[in-house]
Amino acid sequence: MVSVKTRGWGSSTAAVVRELADAGEPLKQREIAARCATSQPRVSQVLVRLASDGLVRRTDHGWVGDRTPLVRTYLDRYRTREVERESWWYALDTLTEQVERVVPAGERVAVSADLATDLTTPWRRPSTVIVWAAAPLDLSSRGFVPAESRAAATVIVRTTDDARLFAGVTVVDGLPLADRFQQASDLLDLGGSDRAEAVAVLLGLPDGETP
């Protein structure tokens, strides 16, 4: 078992980990820096720390990650920075129809769990959707009413200043979906054993393993 410190990661460390986890081949330091839009000195710092935790190693061909521990540690140690308190909204139509009304409300948005996961890796009937935005969204003019609690919400809006989250979206059925690592983090935050199982499938964890 890999033993790691409990200190949380910043967005640059998280970006490096995502690249190494999905690379499938060794990556040079300069390649990682280019893919993560960060400096080589910063990448070097991150790699040294990850190597000291036993999560990555350097080979003759570049850096490689021990994927399963890397993914598990990512989910344990990284949370996207929120710059405003999340808001809770409720509507009666399908989640897809709700999100289709939400997306035009913000210049930069990313649709996450549950809906994004269901669109790419169908697993259950989605009951909630987290939408990340670069600025707070008031959905009262788009057919929503404020929900009394997070559990009662059909749409949860979270605001972040992390540009990487929006740069990494993939458009599916006209909706900008957050990357699968963000979806996995949000699934675990929403909670439930079925969501943990969905994370294992989404991130390709070994059979029978859940986060």
For 111-124, the pLDDT digits (tens) are: 999 999 999 888 87
For 68-105, the pLDDT digits (tens) are: 999 999 999 999 999 999 999 999 999 999 999 999 87
And the tokens for 43? 């990448």
Contact between 155 and 131 under an 8 Å Cβ cutoff? The reply is yes
The model's confidence at residue 3, banded by pLDDT at 50, 70 and 90, is very low
Which residues, other chains included, contact 99 with Cβ-Cβ below 8 Å and sequence gap of 6+?
A: 111, 115, 129, 131, 155, 175
For 164-194, the pLDDT digits (tens) are: 999 999 999 999 999 999 999 999 999 988 8
**CA–CA separation, 11 and 206 (whole Å):** 26
* pTM of the predicted model as reported, rounded to 2 decimal places: 0.89
